[in-house]
């Protein structure tokens, strides 16, 4: 079974479409959908409850949400998915996730990232993100990371930290084996860049640099949401 784990916070606008598309999959591959809410103030929980198993953590961070989702799941494969991400063919995606992890050389995998805009900036961002995952072993949340439960438990899984949880987890997986890039695109929203593309991009790079210099995630998160 594949466990699809979705961390959410105030995602009523995006979540319903994703869950409806997942529930419409007709495939012999069994899967479950787990939504972990981090304290939403909108209709996110009510919407999710119609389609998935829902768990709630008040005022939680994404690391804690992902960790709880994995703990509550029962699949032998874990797929961590953002609510504003989209596949053209979920049925094919599930099949290729399962097939790719049969090869013991691979500890995890991800999808080819694209954004919901054809602007040059977003095409550049997607290209560099895919190269980063391929050559540096850094898969970020919007790339649809998946791994086996065995690998997840072997590495210790996600940490309950407010930022850089995907960085830390993917680096631990990278030490266990290669990453498989599926030949399927995952489209993610460009919304976080809409208040200023270059400014937001530079801020994110600054946060990564500070992290490499030893600044803890608990301090970095203040800069991230400032």
CA distance 11 to 52: 14
CA distance 226 to 66: 23
CA distance 65 to 221: 16
Give per-residue pLDDT as tens, 75-117.
Answer: 999 999 999 999 989 999 999 999 999 999 999 999 999 999 9
Per-residue tokens: 4: 């699809």
CA–CA distances in Å: residue 9 to residues 12, 13, 43, 197: 9, 11, 10, 23
Percent of the chain's residues with pLDDT above 90? 81
Give per-residue pLDDT as tens, 32-82.
Answer: 999 999 999 999 999 999 999 999 998 789 999 999 999 999 999 999 999
Contact 5, 36 (CB under 8 A): yes
What is the DSSP pairing of strand 53-56 with strand 178-188? unpaired
Q: Which residue has the tokens 């494969």?
A: 77
- The pTM (predicted TM-score) of the whole model is 0.94
Does the pLDDT value for residue 226 go beyond 80? no
Sheet holding 85-87, edge to edge: 53-56, 31-37, 2-8, 77-80, 146-148, 106-115, 178-188, 85-87
pLDDT at position 40, please?
A: 94
């Amino acid at each position: 079974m594949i466990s699809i784990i979705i961390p959410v916070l105030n995602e009523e606008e995006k979540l319903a479409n994703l869950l409806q598309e997942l529930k419409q999959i007709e495939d012999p591959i069994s899967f479950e959908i787990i939504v972990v809410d981090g304290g939403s103030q909108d209709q996110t929980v009510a919407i999710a409850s119609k389609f998935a198993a829902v768990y709630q953590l008040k005022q939680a961070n994404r690391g804690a949400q992902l960790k709880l989702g994995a703990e509550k799941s029962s699949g032998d494969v874990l797929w961590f998915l953002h609510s504003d991400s989209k596949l053209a063919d979920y049925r094919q995606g599930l099949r290729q996730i399962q097939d790719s992890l049969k090869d013991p050389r691979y500890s995890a995998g991800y999808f080819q990232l694209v954004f919901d805009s054809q602007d040059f900036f977003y095409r550049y961002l997607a290209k560099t993100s895919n190269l980063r995952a391929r050559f540096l072993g850094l898969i970020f949340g919007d790339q649809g990371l998946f791994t086996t439960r065995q690998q997840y438990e072997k590495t210790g899984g996600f940490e309950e930290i407010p930022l850089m949880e995907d960085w830390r987890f993917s680096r631990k997986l990278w030490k266990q084996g290669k990453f498989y890039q599926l030949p399927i695109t995952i489209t993610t929203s460009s919304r976080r860049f809409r208040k200023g593309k270059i400014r937001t991009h530079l801020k994110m790079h600054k946060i990564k640099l500070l992290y490499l210099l030893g600044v803890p995630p608990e301090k970095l998160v203040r800069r991230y949401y400032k």
